[in-house]
Amino acid sequence: MQTLHLDLGKHSYPIHIGHGLLDRAHEWIAPLIKTPRVAIVSNETVAPLYLDRLQNALEKSGIGALPIILPEGEQHKTVESWLAIHDALLAARCERGTTLIALGGGVVGDIAGFAAATFQRGIDFIQIPTTLLAQVDSSVGGKTGINHPRGKNMIGAFYQPRMVLIDTDALATLPARELSAGLAEVIKYGLIRNTEFFVWLENHLDALLAGDAAALQYAIGQSCACKAEIVAADERETGERALLNLGHTFGHALEAEFGYGNWLHGEAVAVGTMMAAAASKARGWLNDADCERIARLFERAHLPVRIPPADVERLIDWMRGDKKVASGKLRLVLLEAIGQAAVHPARDDEELQTALTACMDD
Amino acid sequence: MQTLHLDLGKHSYPIHIGHGLLDRAHEWIAPLIKTPRVAIVSNETVAPLYLDRLQNALEKSGIGALPIILPEGEQHKTVESWLAIHDALLAARCERGTTLIALGGGVVGDIAGFAAATFQRGIDFIQIPTTLLAQVDSSVGGKTGINHPRGKNMIGAFYQPRMVLIDTDALATLPARELSAGLAEVIKYGLIRNTEFFVWLENHLDALLAGDAAALQYAIGQSCACKAEIVAADERETGERALLNLGHTFGHALEAEFGYGNWLHGEAVAVGTMMAAAASKARGWLNDADCERIARLFERAHLPVRIPPADVERLIDWMRGDKKVASGKLRLVLLEAIGQAAVHPARDDEELQTALTACMDD
């Protein structure tokens, strides 16, 4: 087991990573809570697998639980799901001192985190992510939110958890497609600013795909450490934190265009990263071999690197609707090299067109 | 004109109080904004009176505006109104850099503030309160939120504005009943911890009711200074800030029982304060003369000090649903003397019953 610390002054918190942690969850949770009952938000897929185990662990410390089970899927990351949590908390007379635990993937964590941020102006919140994507990305850093018909994560808050508890055993039940989607974000950390980790991934990708526990803990630890470092430097994404969005401005447009829920977030990020790489190549920063090398790693992780034919103008429109637009000017996270990302303003629509079509089937 | 500062570290902000400020609003707003267009949230009553003047002022600095007009009244302090702001901001392609201005009373400020807190995880926010209640209470301190069918302000966030701009001229168009409701909160500041200000109010209540500009500026300044001091010491209401809720736990129960919108918040707070005074008397802290003196000041301000016959058990139920319940134990803000409030756990239901019935008509 490994423990990292996200240093955010009085909002600092630990990230525990290891296997077998779920059945011992009470050891870390009991010292944090203020009331004898917690609320646990999960979904229809994760609850049958892990809710009992979490509740049994909590019972060992005499902690009761109010389970709140959401339907599964990005298409349910809505105002309605968020309100359903508030309804359940109020119906059960939960209080300001209640701690809310998110048990599930990124969607559960984002909705539950936003509910915790807004229930009676904010209650304590613990993340127990059960997908690789959530373990290496969304559970760390305090971004919470829900989707709006006009765009992803348009409504939300920065709200830090009190703790993140990552049990790598949970990945055993994760569908292969979702493990791959999580690997897209893991690869992203290598690309952003850790060439050494990128090379490690090239050498250990097969072990990760095979579910090797030591490899998973190392990759998750590296990913969380990178994220924690960047978030600590820029909690509210005014600068450096934008680097974490490599592939995301393109990716969000793909998710919106092809329908939330049809593409996994990580899949969209993989293609989006290839689009960012294409734009970086057009600027002369990456060469063909670099792009090939990135594509090869994504492909080995069973991730898409191209999209089917689509309306380029509409995609650009989605990108302009993305919340990372500053003063009408679209900003892109580009790669100056493998392991060195930087934010640059997009030059013009032609640049976006070129990047999009470079990764589009005829 | 007078400027106070609410000291909250990097979230500090100025509170400007004076007359004629609205027509000069651009002088303070222009230096704060990041995009050439702001969004202005107002309501159907306030917009016809003051929106043009604010927009004209902003135009002097070349600042455009997106007006978002809500229906009026506490009954519209709902998820729907909050979502309508998000819809409008997104339809107009507002960005993370957009500043949102609330122009109106407490309801507008609370909903708009919660929209600012949650639009793309938080955008800049300016309060221009136009009611006395909002000027002395809700615009200062960062409490934002909306109501839930199960209780008032159950969904919300602590989110500080960048600035509060208080134009006392706006009170000229305020209905007398609402001026009175605002005075309930002004009187509250005297009761909490400023006996001298309470005495000043006894001596100047008629001037305030007559709309005397100097008296209003003094009373608003005293109120904001008291609130700013308490909020600075306890931004998230873990301790001292709870004092500001004098009369509110009882008051919220009255608003819920009699229907949001039928009672003005200040009216409920006035009776709620009398109930807190009754409980304080039962504990031997206030005497009959103290209670009379408080009731007399409320009555001179045309505020209610009693409620019609009501179901006491249901009222207690509403109180237990209130979000200031800590670990199932109801806490009351009581008066140890006029000018000296303190938080105490409620002893039992009988104590609540006695306080409620002491202020209830047969």
Question: pLDDT value at position A329?
Answer: 77
Using DSSP's 3-state secondary structure scheme, residue A147 falls into strand
Q: Which two tokens stand for residue A251?
A: 């990716």
Whether residue B148 is found in the same domain as residue B45 = yes
* Percent of residues, chain A, with pLDDT higher than 70: 98
Which of B157, B172, B187 is the last residue in one of the domains?
B172
Whether residue B77 is found in the same domain as residue B150 = yes
User: Which structural domain range is residue B278 located in?
Assistant: 176-358
- Residue A324: count of CB within 10 angstroms of its CB: 19
Cβ contacts of B151 within 8 Å, gap of 6 or more: A90, B252, B256, B318, B321, B322, B323
ipTM of the complex: 0.88
A77 assigned to active site: no
* For residues A12-19, average pLDDT: 96
- CATH number where B109 lies: 3.40.50.1970
Question: pLDDT value at position A326?
Answer: 52
A155: contact with B, CB 8 A cutoff: yes
Q: Do A99 and A54 touch, CB atoms closer than 8 A?
A: no
- CATH number where B277 lies: 1.20.1090.10
Number of folded domains in chain B?
2
Nearest to B196 by CA among B295, B54, B339, B87: B339
Question: pLDDT value at position B25?
Answer: 98
pTM of the entire structure? 0.89
Which of A144, A172, A200 is the last residue in one of the domains?
A172
Per-residue pLDDT of A21-72, as tens digits, reads: 999 999 999 999 999 999 999 999 999 999 999 999 999 999 999 999 999 9
Whether residue A323 is found in the same domain as residue A220 = yes
For an interface test with A, which of B85, B90, B120 has the most A Cβ atoms less than 10 Å from its Cβ? Answer: B120
Question: pLDDT value at position B295?
Answer: 98
Contacts of B248 in chain A (CB under 8 A): none
Whether residue A72 is found in the same domain as residue A133 = yes
**What is the residue type of B224?**
C
Identity of the highest mean pLDDT range in A100-114, A317-331, B321-335: A100-114
Give dist(CA B163, CA B113) in Å, integer.
12
**In the 8-state DSSP scheme, what is residue B130?**
-
Judged by CB atoms closer than 8 Å, whether chains meet at A324 and B96 is answered as yes
Whether residue B182 is found in the same domain as residue B316 = yes
Whether residue A87 is found in the same domain as residue A168 = yes
Q: Do A306 and A359 touch, CB atoms closer than 8 A?
A: yes
Question: pLDDT value at position A322?
Answer: 58
**Mean per-residue pLDDT pooled into runs of 10, chain B (362 residues):** 92 95 97 96 98 98 98 94 98 95 97 98 98 95 94 94 97 95 97 96 97 94 95 83 93 87 89 98 97 98 97 92 63 96 94 97 91
**In the 8-state DSSP scheme, what is residue A11?**
G
**What is the pLDDT of chain A when averaged over all its residues?**
94
Cβ contacts of B67 within 8 Å, gap of 6 or more: B39, B40, B42, B47, B51, B55
Whether residue A180 is found in the same domain as residue A194 = yes
Q: Which two tokens stand for residue B66?
A: 């997106």
Per-residue pLDDT of A82-102, as tens digits, reads: 999 999 999 999 999 999 999
Which of B172, B207, B224 is the last residue in one of the domains?
B172
Whether residue B165 is found in the same domain as residue B299 = no
Question: pLDDT value at position B260?
Answer: 65
Facing residue for A321 by CB, picked from B87, B93, B118: B93
Whether residue B183 is found in the same domain as residue B320 = yes
| pLDDT confidence band for A18 (50 / 70 / 90) | very high
Question: pLDDT value at position A261?
Answer: 67
Whether residue B128 is found in the same domain as residue B183 = no
| pLDDT confidence band for A74 (50 / 70 / 90) | confident
Per-residue pLDDT of A168-210, as tens digits, reads: 999 999 999 999 999 999 999 999 989 999 999 999 999 999 9
- φ, ψ of residue A131 to 5 degrees: the values are -115, 160
Whether residue A244 is found in the same domain as residue A162 = no
Judged by CB atoms closer than 8 Å, whether chains meet at B327 and A154 is answered as no
The answer for A29, left when phi > 0, alpha when psi is -120 to 50, beta otherwise, is alpha
Whether residue A222 is found in the same domain as residue A254 = yes
